[in-house]
Structure 1
Amino acid sequence: ISRRLGKKHGAMVITGLAFAMAPMPFILRILGWFPENGTDLLFWTLVVFNAVEVTLIIVSASLIAAMIADVVEDSEIRTGRRSEGIFFAANSFAQKAVNGLGVVVAGQILAYIQFPTQAKPGEIPAETLLDLAYLYVPVLLIFYFFALATLSLYQINRADHSDNLRRLAEPKAD
């Protein structure tokens, strides 16, 4: 993907595909185009949707890690210091912060729609499930929008990266 599209555009395309895939079961259910609850077809359809989405997220994360490595080298050229620990720690912190925010937002959505506690499958009113979908989908899309916006800020292209590698390989004068 990165050879064909470049890391930035590859990550944006893959993240965009995950962006489209993530809410699709909810959207298809709202439109009445999804298998009925309690059927084997629903189970296997959800397995496929989740497998595709997780695969896209893993590919995106791999491209983003490669982009961070490029930023490390670019920073070394600019500062003379190699600081991969700082960059990867910042990425890890950002992931944890976003995950925590996701948990808080999910909890707020459940509280807002008054999702029943201790409910068993099949006992939750259809209106409550629709309310959940109507709130979950836009919130999820907002998170993905910010991810794509952040990726769009990446400035290192293949030529810049190659130049950085060449410059780092040159012997340093003491």
Structure 2
Amino acid sequence: MISEFLGADDELANARIEFRSQPHPIPADARVAYKLAQVAIVLSAFNRNSATIENLHLFTWSLQSKRAGQMLLSWWSGSRYANTVTQRSDPHLPVALNVGLIRGIVSITGTSHNRVTLQPPGVLFAQQIELDEELMSAEKSYIRQFKKLSDAAVARRLTRAS
């Protein structure tokens, strides 16, 4: 069928395709499904399943490493002031959000298109993750330390004067 499309004499039509194992697997945090699960966990912890894109970046960034997580927790608790640049970004988040938009898991709203909200399929996804105790247990445990989140709570806690 491909040879008909390309022509029987075409070099591509007769090319041999070979798959081989790659030495470097894709890190988990770069995988769209994993990143969407993180988004669902984080947004479900926020008031009305909705957060600004900046806060979503901050919390998914904090899930990238133990050090990042400890840094956000210390800012949150007040033991370390967030007078340094606290706007952190997760480089894999935009791709996951695009897929989430296409799949109806999230919507992006706000006058500046700066608010991400879980849609009913995303809420269901977050609930399924929550029900499975072993699935993403470290991430869920970490996010629970912040109790119920809101954009206002993040602003209050991270903009303290030193």
* Alignment TM-score > 0.5, same fold: no
Relative contact order, CA 8 A, sep 6+: which one is greater?
A: 1
Q: TM-score by structure 2 length? A: 0.25
Higher strand proportion: 2
- Whose helix proportion is higher, 1 or 2? 1
